């Protein structure tokens, strides 16, 4: 497996259109705010990173829960797809803010030595975060299609996810083999469907770190 930290960090810089603002991003979920406050600045340990991931996951689940409820209303014909667009735009924007906050927090960290048990903990949280977002967006796109009004925001969400993965790999080198092993079948299952255009940043990351 070929892996260049220089190439991965370069990819991190280009993986998202959201600028790194530093500090606390306005509008993030309460659970993530609490995690950022608990860490109290730049993450210093794998436990800090896990805390940030736990806060992010909790806040993201609130966003995806709202998104799933909106999509369910379309399926039951309680609202139209056009009305759903208006609700989903705000919900996806909130999701983007949460992911942007995690990027901001991880960007302030330096390389962190990680015990094996902590790598497993972080990997579990990363997989949960990815699956939560992927499952929700897959349902949304399956029901509504790639709506023009939502596609740009969804592209940003997946770029942020790729950036998060890149930063975590740079911080926690032991994460790489298991992360690639978990992402490859997940992407294979979704990469040929309606989500394929949105998955490009993550597919590019996996290709870059996997090598031929």
H-type alpha helices, 108-147: 116-144
Q: How confident is the model at residue 30 (pLDDT cuts 50, 70, 90)?
A: very high
* Cβ within 8 Å of residue 162, ≥6 positions away: 11, 15, 16, 201, 202, 204, 205
82 in a structural domain:
yes
2 in a structural domain:
no
| Whole-number pLDDT of residue 205 | 81
200 in a structural domain:
yes
90 in a structural domain:
yes
- Provide the mean pLDDT of the chain: 82
| Whole-number pLDDT of residue 97 | 95
Nearest to 94 by CA among 125, 62, 138: 62
Integer-rounded Cα Rg, in Å, for the chain is 17
Residue 1 has pLDDT above 60, yes or no: no
CA dihedral (27, 92, 124, 160) positive or negative: negative
6 in a structural domain:
no
Determine phi and psi for 52, rounding to 5 degrees: -65, -40
* Cβ within 8 Å of residue 19, ≥6 positions away: none
Of 6-15, 89-98, 124-133, 148-157, least confident by mean pLDDT is 6-15
Q: Rounded CA gap, 137 and 132, in Å? A: 9
Domain that holds residue 41: 22-210
Q: What is the pLDDT of residues 96-126, one digit of tens each?
A: 999 999 999 999 887 777 776 777 888 889 9
| Whole-number pLDDT of residue 188 | 67
8 in a structural domain:
no
5 in a structural domain:
no
| Whole-number pLDDT of residue 13 | 40
Task: Provide the domain count of the chain.
Answer: 1
74 in a structural domain:
yes
Q: Rounded CA gap, 207 and 197, in Å? A: 16
């Amino acid at each position: 497996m070929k892996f260049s930290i220089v190439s991965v960090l370069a990819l991190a810089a280009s993986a998202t259109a959201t600028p790194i603002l530093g500090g606390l991003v306005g509008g993030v979920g309460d659970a993530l705010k609490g995690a950022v406050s608990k860490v109290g600045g730049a993450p210093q340990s794998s436990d800090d990173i896990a805390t940030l991931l736990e806060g992010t996951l909790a806040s993201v689940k609130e966003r995806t829960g709202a998104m799933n409820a909106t999509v369910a209303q379309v399926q039951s014909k309680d609202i139209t797809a056009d009305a759903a667009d208006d609700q989903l735009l705000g919900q996806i924007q909130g999701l983007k803010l949460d992911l942007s906050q995690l990027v901001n927090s991880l960007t302030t960290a330096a390389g962190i030595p990680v015990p094996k048990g902590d790598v497993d903990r972080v990997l579990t949280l990363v997989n949960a975060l990815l699956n939560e977002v992927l499952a929700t967006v897959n349902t949304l796109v399956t029901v509504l299609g790639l709506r023009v009004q939502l596609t740009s925001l969804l592209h940003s969400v997946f770029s942020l996810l790729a950036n998060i993965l890149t930063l975590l790999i740079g911080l926690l080198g032991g994460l790489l083999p298991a992360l690639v092993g978990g992402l490859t079948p997940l992407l294979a299952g979704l990469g040929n469907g309606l989500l394929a255009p949105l998955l490009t940043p993550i597919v590019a990351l996996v290709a870059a770190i996997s090598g031929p």
